[in-house]
Amino acid sequence: MAKTFAVKALERASGETGLVPGQIVDAYPALYMSHTATWRCIKTWERMGEPELFDKDRIAMVMDHISPAQTAKIAGDHRLSREFRDKMGIKNFFDVNAGIAHVVLMEHGLVKPGDLIIGTDSHSTIYGALGALGTGVGFSEITAAWVTGKLWMRVPESMKVLVKGPLPEGVYPKDVMLKLIGDITADGATYYSVEFHGSWVESLSTSERMTLCNLAMEAGAKNAFVPPDAETMRYLAEHGVDLDLVEPLVSDQDAVFERTVEVDGTSLEPQIAVPPNVDNVVPISEVAGTKVDQVFIGSCANAKYDDLAIAARYLKGNTIAPGVRLVVTPASADIMAKAAADGIVTTLIEAGALITNPGCGACAGSGGAMADGEVTLSTANRNFRGRMGSYESSIYLSSPAVAAASAVAGVITDPVMRD
């Protein structure tokens, strides 16, 4: 019988054959990621009586959500994590200087096609950008996986997303994803393995594929997937993965997709998610002119090197509007170093940006908070009420290009004049 990627990946991870959607299996992930929740995992492990670890080399820890520590309590949580690393010999440990877990793990060659990867973060769907099955779980499940090596998983149905390109000038993968989420709504992909197909998807860089797979979560996806290809192999080789050890999985030609959705990107305007839900999406023309107090370019959705380069292109030679705060938080230390070497960081600072250390930053509520009544335009993936400070503040979501143009204008602005 023809199989989808998700079925194949869970057969590989469980050692079982003949799986069908709906079945529940015990699956053994290749990697268990914990971010700032690491200390909670350690406390849980201690409560269990410190049982033996199944495979410490499958554990990855990244101190990304609150970095550097803001309080003595958080500093203690970080210290507990470092002590655990030293005591147990955890080699995949990335401290407060590294950046956002998802991007850091991919940059360090820890994500491979066909792997099952679980993380204490809903946006673990992003690992599908390299052809892995990534999904988010709670910290108890990560702790359980440390000890047993496995977790229960329901074999998901699959959804195919076909995107028609090329995109007009000033329109980016973020806009395609906001359009998709608006169309199918915040639970349109719940429990599904979402696969992105089509020649436009094939033309994307790995970084752009990360944006697709990251945001698929906002439609409820269990995991997201772009079929690995030559671009994937290029990225993996560049980041130190031995390609001889890589065994990609893809859906069979005649595999069954329970749902197929098409997005026509060829005539798309930039898209904006209006507060307080990610599926509350409108074309930019409907909200252009909305005053912003703060612009945030950050998060695992859109703070990669290409995102910063796009923002710099629109900010070069410009100054942000008076009274607007532009906060830029590169996704990782490697991205920040490259952006610094290429002059992008200087361009952003000269335009008036505040550059923070790499990490989740304002998206996770660490800095960049808003007062009552304020508005942020953000390149992140969530605009929920109270996520960035006051419960009476508002978050709009956009691409980095719209964010940069809006920082200059002081109001939500399309970077391109359209008919």
Partner 1 sequence: MSAATADRLGGRSIVFGDNVNTDVIIPGRYLVSIDPVELGTHAFEPLGPEVQEKLKASPVVVAGRNFGCGSAREQAATCLIGVGVKAVVARSYSRVFFRNAINTGLVAVECAAAVDAIHEGDDVWVDYEAGMVTAVGRSFPFAPFPPVLREILEAGGLIEHLMQKFAKEKG
Q: Which residues bind partner 1 (CB under 8 A)?
A: 24, 37, 40, 43-44, 47-49, 51, 71, 73-74, 77, 119-122, 124, 135-141, 143-144, 147-148, 152, 186-187, 190-191, 220, 222, 277, 279, 364-365, 382, 384-387, 391
Q: Give yes or no for a cis peptide into 276 (omega within 30° of 0).
A: yes
Comparing C-alpha atoms, which of 233, 238, 206 is closest to residue 129? 206
> Quick one: which H or E segment has residue 173?
helix 173-184
Q: Is 267 exposed, middle or buried (0-12, 13-18, 19+ CB in 10 A)?
A: exposed
Taking the complex as a whole, how short is the minimal distance between the CB of residue 51 and partner 1, in angstroms? 7
Q: Which is nearer to partner 1, 154 or 234 (CB)?
A: 154
Give the residue with the Cβ less far from partner 1, 140 or 260.
140
Residues contacting residue 194 through CB under 8 Å, at least 6 positions apart:
125, 128, 158, 159, 161, 216, 219, 221, 223, 224, 225
Q: Whole-number minimum distance, CB 368 to partner 1, in Å?
A: 13
- Residue linked to tokens 């108890």: 140
- 151 to each of 13, 117, 330, how far by Cα in Å? 10, 11, 33
Q: Helices (H) and strands (E) in the chain — how many of each?
A: 13, 18
Cβ of residue 272: shortest distance to partner 1, in angstroms?
18
Please, which residue, 136 or 410, has the CB nearer to partner 1?
136
Residue 190 beta carbon to partner 1: minimum distance, rounded to whole angstroms: 6
Query: Measured between alpha carbons, how far is 302 from 100 in angstroms, rounded to an integer?
Result: 11
Q: What gap in Å lies between CA 176 and CA 181, rounded to an integer? A: 9
C-alpha span between 171 and 179 (Å, rounded) = 11
The least CB distance from residue 238 to partner 1, in Å, is 29
Q: Which is nearer to partner 1, 181 or 321 (CB)?
A: 181
**Nearest approach, Cβ of residue 162 and partner 1 (Å):** 23
Q: Are 197 and 229 in contact (CB under 8 A)?
A: no
Q: Which is nearer to partner 1, 317 or 391 (CB)?
A: 391
* Residue 33 beta carbon to partner 1: minimum distance, rounded to whole angstroms: 11
In whole angstroms, the minimum distance from the beta carbon of 391 to partner 1 comes to: 4
CB 277 to partner 1: min, Å: 6
**Looking at beta carbons only, is 179 or 222 nearer to partner 1?**
222
Q: Which of 46, 40, 44 is nearest to 61 (CA)?
A: 40
**Taking the CB of residue 26, how many other CB atoms lie within 10 A of it?**
14
| Pair of tokens at residue 119 | 């993380």
Residue type at 149 in one-letter notation: G
Question: Based on CB atoms, which residue is closest to partner 1, 352 or 365?
Answer: 365
Nearest CB to partner 1, comparing residues 41 and 310: 41
Say if residue 391 is exposed, middle or buried (CB neighbours under 10 Å; 0-12, 13-18, 19+). Answer: exposed
CB 68, min distance to partner 1, A: 15
Torsion of CA 150, 153, 156, 162, to 10 degrees: -50
**Is the CB of 324 or the CB of 360 nearer to partner 1?**
360
Select 138 or 343, whichever has its Cβ closest to partner 1: 138
